[in-house]
Amino acid sequence: MAEKRRDQRDVRGGREGAQEVGESRTSGVRDEEFRAWQALVATARRTVAEGLVVGTSGNVSVRVRDTVLVTPSGVPYDRLTPDDLTAVDLDGRQVRGTLVPTSELPMHLAVYRTTDARAVVHTHAVHATAVSTLVRELPAIHYMAGALGGPVRVAPYATYGTEELAENMLHALADRSGCLLQNHGTLTYGATLDQAYDRTAQLEWMCHLWLTASSVPGLTPTLLSDDQLRAAGERLRGYGQRE
């Protein structure tokens, strides 16, 4: 992996407009970006620690003004350092670092271009991925679906890293802050990394809940109505401590 990372640096070293982070500390890169990078790495490591991804199968991004910091492709999260900061602009041009950005960059950028998202988390969570192969929409098994805007849709399958997948995802995300990706995983976004991550974890939990309840022979889970989900969503908007 160390050789791979060196190769990536060599390949990307000549990218026009990219900037070595080690040098950037003396070249005016905002402290804001370094703090965001630290939070991004912590979130990416959390997805592994809590079983939402295996290895480097998921990816995380955070937006700082018009710059999008992203996890690099194929690098284990426990090996990321401050010098590995990787960022692109909203058109996908690399503006920080030399490591190749995540292959799922089209999905992340599509979210930032069309929503008010400040952070995106994509995982290959087991239960959510299993549900994505069974239904077109996660059955309304729990009111926390209201926190995502309503019933969670499944985006039709497309090859990973493609614009087709990004387009399918956007349709599934309409009026939602999370969706399932058929035979692939999950994607959620939020105003912060913590919120985006929490939505991912809640989505995986709801998928686990539905699979568990629906596996009982001879019984069918009760589901919530659209009105019940809307009421829960409105109530959840006021949930938690006030600033």
Query: Among all residues, which ones are annotated catalytic?
Result: 104
Q: Which has the closest alpha carbon to 174: 197, 193, 191, 150? A: 150
Per the CB < 8 A criterion, the answer to whether 200 and 125 are in contact is yes
How would you label 59-96 residue by residue, b for 16+ Cβ within 10 Å and e otherwise?
Answer: bbbbbbeebbbbbbbebebeebeebbbbbbeeeeebbb
Per the CB < 8 A criterion, the answer to whether 143 and 228 are in contact is yes
- CA angle, residues 79, 161, 186, in degrees to nearest 5: 75
CA distance linking residue 95 with residue 88, whole number of Å: 5
Phi/psi-derived region of residue 88, left when phi > 0, alpha when psi is between -120 and 50, beta in every other case:
beta
Q: Is 35 in a helix, a strand, or coil?
A: helix
> What are 37's two structure tokens?
């990078």
